[in-house]
């Protein structure tokens, strides 16, 4: 699983980092720190995606799945 944050949509609330600091880092807006999300963090990342107030976290389609 790969995710990205659309910077224009992020309001920097910090929810994603609070939920999964292993993957997200928030200063003025959120950044994804990893290339691929490890399986052990998937659930937390999905929770962050669902809980993000603006829906700024998107899953990136993996090339292997095409």
The site for ligand SF4 (CB under 6 A) is made up of 5, 10-16, 26, 29-30, 52-54, 56-57
Helix, strand, or coil here: 54?
A: coil
Instruction: Kindly state the smallest distance separating residue 14's Cβ from ligand SF4, in Å.
Output: 5
> Which residue, 18, 2, 13, 23, is CA-closest to 53?
13
Are 43 and 51 within 8 A, CB to CB? no
Nearer to ligand SF4, 37 or 57 (CB): 57
14 vs 36, beta carbon nearer ligand SF4: 14
Q: Which of 45, 53, 59, 46 is nearest to 12 (CA)?
A: 53
Shortest distance (Å) from residue 1 CB to ligand SF4: 16
- Cβ 57 to ligand SF4 shortest distance, Å: 5
């Amino acid at each position: 699983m790969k995710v990205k944050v659309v910077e224009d949509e992020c309001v920097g609330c910090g929810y994603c980092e609070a939920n999964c600091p292993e993957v997200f880092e928030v200063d003025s807006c959120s950044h994804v720190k990893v290339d691929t999300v490890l399986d052990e963090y998937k659930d937390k990342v999905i929770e962050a995606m669902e809980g993000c107030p603006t829906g700024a976290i998107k899953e990136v389609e993996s090339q292997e799945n095409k």
